[in-house]
Structure 1
Amino acid sequence: MATRADYLKLHFIVFLWGFSAILGKLVSIPTMEMVFFRALLACLGIGLVIILTKGTFQVTSRNFIYLILIGFIVALHWVCFFGSGRVANVSVSLVGFATNSLWTAILEPWMNRTRIKKFELVLGFIVLSGLYIIFSFDFQYKLGLTLGILAGLTSAVFSIFNSKMVRTIPSFTITFYEMMGCFVGLGIFLPIYKFIWAPEESMLYWPTLLDWIWIATLAGVCSVYAYSTAVELMKKISVFLIQLTLNLEPVYGIIMALIIFGSSEKMGTNFYVGTGIIMTAVLVYPYLRKRFDQRAALKQSAS
């Protein structure tokens, strides 16, 4: 059963993820290299945490492969998310990413073979309408928005998978192998990317000292802590509520981006209207979920 502290913790990690978009913008090396080094540091960091807390690295061969493959999805998510911020801006990246609640409402019932809850689907579309209003003032960043939406889709996919894995595997162990999978996946893809899509960037870009500081912060705070905490919260909070709360990430991130980057992130009236719609959906969800669970319990007891 989730407590108030659990919900506060959820909002805190959402704030951290909103800030990660800003950190990604501050790193000077290309997105692929940034994600590659972030995954490496995150894997080493979470491995150290497991050793210090006397956790376990032990998983079955099947689960090992499964977690590595989920790590590939995480890699795609990060590349899309940070790539969106690079080709557009932080605001566009975060707005596209917030479609994850809609993707979750569609994918979770299908992947878990459960009934679609109509109110979750409705709330997902309400969130989508809020995002449309936010973005309707400017459509010049089509590629950036597309990458942001792909980031939302991949976020929904690996969150649904993780909600299953966390039932039998410790959250730190899950995070360790997924960060390893992210690192390995990018290690395989990076040479292919540079050879086919970016031959002018054939060399591997190494981070500067300041880049290492930003990447280490991304790895330690936004990956090791926030990612593991999110996986742990999946034991108590539904995937859809986590994904719906993640829609506050654009709110936190865009406000911070506006403060840090100034006029390049300035929002109009559309932003505040859309933000209000998103926040309303987030606040209404717990009430609707409680009503739905009560009705389901009554039907079950009556039968």
Structure 2
Amino acid sequence: MTQENNPHNYLRLHIGILLAGATGIFGRIIALTEIPLVWYRMLIAAIVLWIVMRMNHRVSIPERHQLARIAGCGILLAIHWVLFYASIKASNVSIAVVCIALNGFFTAIIEPLIGHRRMSWHELALSLLTLAGILLIFGLDTRHRTGIIIGTFSSLFYTLFSITSKRVQQQTGRSSSTMLLYELLAGWGALTVILPIYLHLYPTATLLPTGIDWAMILMFASVFTIGPFLTQLQALRTISAFTVNLSYNLEPLYSIVLAMMLFDEGQELNGAFWFGVLLIILSVVLQTALSRRAEATICGK
């Protein structure tokens, strides 16, 4: 049996995806508002990742000009996370994770502009199918419009982070773990600057967790933040990048199933939501088929 076909590798991959899908659950469970929540997440995750890298003798300090660019990526990541958890607070987990599917739509438009290449019309068409699903949910379910608007901006900043981080990594030659470590530290630093202003504007906001929230934050920032990242890196050693990326399309579905099991969110979602989700799934399936065809064409040459 080859490493690619080893079922244990796929099991580890999907455990990582399940951990990633559960991060939205913590946004609803933990009582802290979005900025303090992300502040703790980035700080603790950076400490845990530094310990792991230190044990493996992989800690390195990028050059000053590289640090500035990596820090910019970290700030984009912090904004994405803050908006993602704000969307959960304003609506629910299912709405927030579905909005992340707009990443494909934003990528189809932004990546060609930044990379100075021609736009892929089939990618744009499939992304518009995803957009139609979001608009259907937005137009027919007025209860969650605020959460959808915030979630849309969260997806936009996630797209900007993904594209920018990929380009910076290619240009600097830094490892994924080094990139993430300094992105986490930069995002945490930016939130540290903003936090006093936020607390002044919202004096009722709580900074210190109480009771069970401490345990939840520690678990959230370590196991459920660094865990998926390390699992994905390990999976890429034995499983193709295409398979890993395709498998991560299941993350929103895992989040929705968990939210329905834990919070009974199915009672909050109407037919418009599920029809919109079907359009989004159709977009992913069609994109998968086209990607497989393109991969087969390249291999056949």
Q: TM-score, structure 2 length as denominator?
A: 0.84
Map 1:26-41 onto structure 2 (within 5 A): 26-41=29-44
Q: Which amino acid aligns with 1:270?
A: A
Deviates more, 1:164-173 or 1:27-36: 164-173
CA distance in 1, matches of 2:186, 2:236: 21
CA distance in 2, matches of 1:233, 1:69: 27
**1:276, distance to aligned residue in structure 2 (A):** 2.6
Instruction: Indicate the residue corresponding to 1:68 in structure 2.
Output: 71
Alignment partner of 1:105 out of 105, 108, 111: 108
Q: Does the CA contact (< 8 Å) of 1:91 and 1:265 recur in 2? A: no
Alignment partner of 1:179 out of 172, 181, 184: 184
Deviates more, 1:142-151 or 1:132-141: 132-141
**1:7, distance to aligned residue in structure 2 (A):** 7.9
Show CA shifts across 1:61-117 (max 9, x none): 111111112111111111100011112222222222221111111111111222211
Instruction: Indicate the residue corresponding to 2:61 in structure 1.
Output: 58
Q: Does the CA contact (< 8 Å) of 1:22 and 1:90 recur in 2? A: yes
Alignment partner of 1:78 out of 51, 62, 81: 81
**1:233, distance to aligned residue in structure 2 (A):** 7.8
**1:144, distance to aligned residue in structure 2 (A):** 1.4
Q: Secondary structure at the residue paired with 2:143?
A: coil
Q: Which runs of 5+ in 2 are unaligned?
A: none
Map 1:179-258 onto structure 2 (within 5 A): 179-195=184-200, 197-198=201-202, 200-201=203-204, 205-227=207-229, 237=241, 242=245, 248-258=250-260
How many pairs were matched up?
292
**1:268, distance to aligned residue in structure 2 (A):** 2.9
Cα gap change, 1:263 to 1:117, in 2 (>3 Å): closer
Cα gap change, 1:139 to 1:9, in 2 (>3 Å): farther
Instruction: Indicate the residue corresponding to 2:268 in structure 1.
Output: 266
Does residue 122 in structure 1 map to residue 116 in structure 2?
A: no
Instruction: Indicate the residue corresponding to 1:170 in structure 2.
Output: 175
CA distance in 2, matches of 1:247, 1:135: 22
Q: Which runs of 5+ in 1 are unaligned?
A: none
Cα gap change, 1:119 to 1:292, in 2 (>3 Å): farther
Q: Does the CA contact (< 8 Å) of 1:27 and 1:214 recur in 2? A: yes
CA distance in 1, matches of 2:299, 2:16: 32
Cα gap change, 1:231 to 1:215, in 2 (>3 Å): same
Q: Does the CA contact (< 8 Å) of 1:32 and 1:190 recur in 2? A: yes
Q: Which amino acid aligns with 1:143?
A: T
**1:282, distance to aligned residue in structure 2 (A):** 1.8
Instruction: Indicate the residue corresponding to 1:160 in structure 2.
Output: 163
**1:231, distance to aligned residue in structure 2 (A):** 7.3
Instruction: Indicate the residue corresponding to 2:153 in structure 1.
Output: 150
CA distance in 2, matches of 1:271, 1:286: 23
Cα gap change, 1:187 to 1:234, in 2 (>3 Å): farther
Show CA shifts across 1:188-244 (max 9, x none): 11112222x32x33x752112411222122211332122455578899647xx94x8
Instruction: Indicate the residue corresponding to 1:49 in structure 2.
Output: 52
Q: Does the CA contact (< 8 Å) of 2:33 and 2:206 recur in 1? A: no
Q: Secondary structure at the residue paired with 1:43?
A: helix
Q: Secondary structure at the residue paired with 1:169?
A: coil
Deviates more, 1:128-137 or 1:113-122: 128-137
Q: Does the CA contact (< 8 Å) of 2:141 and 2:270 recur in 1? A: no
Q: TM-score, structure 1 length as denominator?
A: 0.83
Identity of aligned residues (%): 27
Q: Which amino acid aligns with 1:186?
A: L
Q: Which amino acid aligns with 1:177?
A: Y
Cα gap change, 1:79 to 1:269, in 2 (>3 Å): same
Does residue 22 in structure 1 map to residue 25 in structure 2?
A: yes
